[in-house]
Amino acid sequence: MAESVGELPVGESRTFHRLPFHDFDAFARLDADAVMVRRLRRAERSRRKLLLLALMEESAKRPELFGPLPPLDAAWELLARVEHKSAKSLDRLLAHPYIGSWAGYTTRLLRDRIDGVCPLWMHLGHVHALAAAAAIRSGIDFEIEVPVWDGHAALPSLGIARLTPPAVFSTAVVRGEAGRYTVVNENGEVRLPAELGEDTAGWQAVRRLRTRVGRYRFSVRLDDVDPYRGLYEPMTPRRLPAAEVRQWQRLVNEACRLIVAYAPDLAETMPIGLGSLVPAPQVRYRNPSASTSEAFGSALVGRPVDGVTLGASLVHEFQHIVLGGVLHLTRLHDEDSRERIYVPWRDDPRPLSGAVQGLYAFAGVTKYWRSLVGAGDTAVARRAAFEFAHWRRQTWHVLTALRTDAALTDDGRRFLDGLAGRLGPWQAEPVPADVAELAAAIGADHRAGWRIRYLRPSGADVATLAAAWLAGDPRPPVSATAAELSPTPVPDGSWSSARTDLIRIRLSEPDATVWPAVAGATDADVAYAAGRHQVAAEEYRTELATDPDRPASLSGLGLALAAQGPGAAARALLYRPELVRAVHRELRRRTDQVPTAERLAAWIGQLVSG
């Protein structure tokens, strides 16, 4: 083995990141502390150093890959000068989330020798921009050429300089001298402000939202300019208007106040693992958010309506980020991309990896809502009780299904066992009865809707049942109702989440007489959400008379019937709706004497347990 040059430990002192079971189990139990999350972040920096090294070594073999930019040596030399002056300047920059997403994205382009959203030289050349940003952070004098995309010269973690470009893809020179910085191309010059966090003509800084709650000081980037801030591919800046930034500030203030008051452990850990938000448009009645393991520390978040909701989104993405960090150190399951698992947070079957990720994210969300159950604000407390009741039950169902999955590794089983130790005792905690009923209803609604759309009973079973019905058998044959089914990849029928939206609205406004418009909501849905279950059942019957296959009408009728008391029809419509619809279709094909779906469900439901 060759002796290393530089400071890499050699021989027996060489070290690898380890994850002590003490930490691993704490992550599984949702009990991780700040030190543990900091260790994940530290491992992430090592990972990025390796990726960056691989990128630079591979691209150095082909100088022509850098197009009009200077050879890679320029970046190497500048980075070396930065580290000589201040190693921390580069280390901090390497912790910037979008250095990770850039490195991953460009690694894949370089492997395939293909262009991305921009030509390959633009993406590779981002290393020059990284060097420039590091040089600015360290305060040295320098000059380096960087890529410019549609007039935007990005300096990662700092901001973008806006120039009039000669072409969509071009270059500019970044220069630093005695603490003054300029970005220059053939059409003009941008002078960076002394305070780099401020906007000036031609300079859009990465904004920071700061708030202080008691002894806690929070600071999170609101990054709408970094080209690598997206999930899949680079994108140009989308500057938020100042008014929206103020709204984000208000939301962050509110979320931080709640977290400090009711979930102080998160106040310690979350800022370490989630330091950048990419703002996304608001979607009414939805709280879209997203993240990627390549951008440890960042999440895309659609602007929510209040801080309570933002808190839930932050916790959700923080959980993903933490698990992503753990998965960089160990494997919880074998590779299995089959989309085969039901999860209540998505309307399609998921692969094991996605199910585990979602489970961990929503387990954290469950813990968050549980902590808010005791909030002084009664509306918040009631909402929290509902969400806690819903998510504890749904995560438990998924966890129960996953724990015996053959694709889990030993570490995976240990991790899920640890999570079960946390979620299990929560199942029996008291919540108000009406809230628990509503939570159970939206869970049953989702599961029924998913089954109708993704499960296909065998043709033989359907034929047997149809024949038995036509023969006037008083009970369906047991053998035809017992099959375990695997989901199909293509859904049969449309999805509607309107009923769930309406229930959440009712929960926040129990005395509302005017219902806001919810996309896809029918009169039957409104009646159900308002608690007028007989009316709702009639309305769903009317819907089914027009379209007997509509998934939301079948499960809606099941819910409306179940709310009036237990019965065979409700059981079949909620627990085996795919069978009811398939047999009903078969009967429509075979005869003109077609029963209602409800009557058929009552017959099938004799053998269905709830």
Partner 1 sequence: MNSSGTEPGIESELIDLEAVPFTALRDVDDDDLRRSLRHVVERASNVRARYRSGNVSGGERID
According to CB under 8 A, which residues from 203 to 262 bind partner 1?
A: 231-232
Q: How far is the CB of 99 from partner 1 (least distance, A)?
A: 11
Q: What is the 3-state secondary structure (H, E, C) of 328-392?
A: CCCCCECCCCCCCECCCCCCCCECHHHHHHHHHHHHHHHHHHHHHCCCCCHHHHHHHHHHHHHHH
Footprint (CB under 8 A) of partner 1, residues 497-536: 497
Footprint (CB under 8 A) of partner 1, residues 322-351: 324, 327-330, 337, 345-348, 350-351
Helix (H) or strand (E) holding 282: none
Q: How far is the CB of 57 from partner 1 (least distance, A)?
A: 8
Taking each helix axis from N to C end, the angle separating 433-454 and 577-590, rounded to the nearest 10 degrees, works out to: 50
Return the number of the residue (47 or 584) whose C-beta is nearest partner 1: 47
Separation between Cα atoms, residue 532 and residue 541, nearest integer Å: 14
Q: Report the residue from 96, 316, 451, 499 that binds partner 1 according to the rule CB under 8 A.
A: 316
Q: Is 565 in the site for partner 1 (CB under 8 A)?
A: no
Handedness of CA 377, 383, 384, 385 (dihedral sign): positive
Residue 314, token pair as written in the block = 């932050």
Q: Is 14 in the site for partner 1 (CB under 8 A)?
A: yes
CA angle 432, 436, 439 (to 5 degrees): 140
Residue 307, token pair as written in the block = 């801080």
Q: Is 361 in the site for partner 1 (CB under 8 A)?
A: yes
CA angle 467, 472, 478 (to 5 degrees): 60
From the number of C-beta atoms within 10 Å of its C-beta (0-12, 13-18, 19+), residue 73 rates as exposed
Q: Report the residue from 26, 29, 31, 42 that binds partner 1 according to the rule CB under 8 A.
A: 42
Q: How far is the CB of 367 from partner 1 (least distance, A)?
A: 17
If phi over 0 gives left and psi between -120 and 50 gives alpha, with beta otherwise, what is residue 151?
left
Q: How far is the CB of 408 from partner 1 (least distance, A)?
A: 15
Could you tell me which of 544, 546, 510 has the C-alpha nearest to residue 529? 510
Q: Is residue 587 within 8 Å of 595, Cβ to Cβ?
A: yes
- Quickly tell me which residue has 């991953």 as its tokens: 104
Return the number of the residue (317 or 405) whose C-beta is nearest partner 1: 317
Q: Is 52 in the site for partner 1 (CB under 8 A)?
A: yes
Separation between Cα atoms, residue 206 and residue 249, nearest integer Å: 14
Handedness of CA 479, 580, 443, 341 (dihedral sign): positive
Could you tell me which of 315, 329, 322 has the C-alpha nearest to residue 297? 322
Q: Report the residue from 19, 163, 184, 597 that binds partner 1 according to the rule CB under 8 A.
A: 19
Q: Is 138 in the site for partner 1 (CB under 8 A)?
A: no
Footprint (CB under 8 A) of partner 1, residues 271-290: 283, 286, 288-290
Q: How far is the CB of 48 from partner 1 (least distance, A)?
A: 9
From the number of C-beta atoms within 10 Å of its C-beta (0-12, 13-18, 19+), residue 235 rates as middle
Q: Is residue 322 within 8 Å of 296, Cβ to Cβ?
A: no
Return the number of the residue (35 or 379) whose C-beta is nearest partner 1: 35
From the number of C-beta atoms within 10 Å of its C-beta (0-12, 13-18, 19+), residue 268 rates as middle
Q: Is 43 in the site for partner 1 (CB under 8 A)?
A: yes
Binding-residue total with partner 1 (CB under 8 A): 81
Q: Report the residue from 354, 477, 493, 595 that binds partner 1 according to the rule CB under 8 A.
A: 354
Q: What does DSSP assign to residue 510?
A: T
Scanning 15-23, 267-275, 377-385, 399-407 for contacts with partner 1 by CB under 8 A, the matching segment is: 15-23
Footprint (CB under 8 A) of partner 1, residues 391-420: 411
Q: Is 447 in the site for partner 1 (CB under 8 A)?
A: no
Scanning 74-82, 390-398, 430-438, 482-490 for contacts with partner 1 by CB under 8 A, the matching segment is: 74-82
Q: How far is the CB of 51 from partner 1 (least distance, A)?
A: 6
Q: Report the residue from 33, 62, 87, 197 that binds partner 1 according to the rule CB under 8 A.
A: 87
Q: How far is the CB of 175 from partner 1 (least distance, A)?
A: 21
Handedness of CA 541, 546, 551, 552 (dihedral sign): negative
Return the number of the residue (51 or 380) whose C-beta is nearest partner 1: 51
Q: Is 358 in the site for partner 1 (CB under 8 A)?
A: yes
Q: How far is the CB of 199 from partner 1 (least distance, A)?
A: 30
Could you tell me which of 584, 595, 608 has the C-alpha nearest to residue 466? 584
Q: Is 314 in the site for partner 1 (CB under 8 A)?
A: no
Q: How far is the CB of 194 from partner 1 (least distance, A)?
A: 28
Q: Is residue 163 within 8 Å of 202, Cβ to Cβ?
A: yes
Q: How far is the CB of 163 from partner 1 (least distance, A)?
A: 29
Q: Is 144 in the site for partner 1 (CB under 8 A)?
A: no
Could you tell me which of 574, 338, 592 has the C-alpha nearest to residue 442? 574
Q: How far is the CB of 342 from partner 1 (least distance, A)?
A: 14
Q: Is residue 451 within 8 Å of 576, Cβ to Cβ?
A: yes
Q: Is 76 in the site for partner 1 (CB under 8 A)?
A: yes
SS3 301: strand
Scanning 105-113, 161-169, 218-226, 430-438 for contacts with partner 1 by CB under 8 A, the matching segment is: 105-113
Q: How far is the CB of 280 from partner 1 (least distance, A)?
A: 10
Scanning 107-115, 190-198, 260-268, 546-554 for contacts with partner 1 by CB under 8 A, the matching segment is: 107-115
SS3 407: coil
What are φ and ψ of residue 133, in 5° steps? -65, -40
Return the number of the residue (288 or 477) whose C-beta is nearest partner 1: 288
Q: How far is the CB of 289 from partner 1 (least distance, A)?
A: 5
Q: Is 7 in the site for partner 1 (CB under 8 A)?
A: yes
Q: How far is the CB of 495 from partner 1 (least distance, A)?
A: 8
One-letter amino acid of 103: A
Footprint (CB under 8 A) of partner 1, residues 468-497: 495, 497
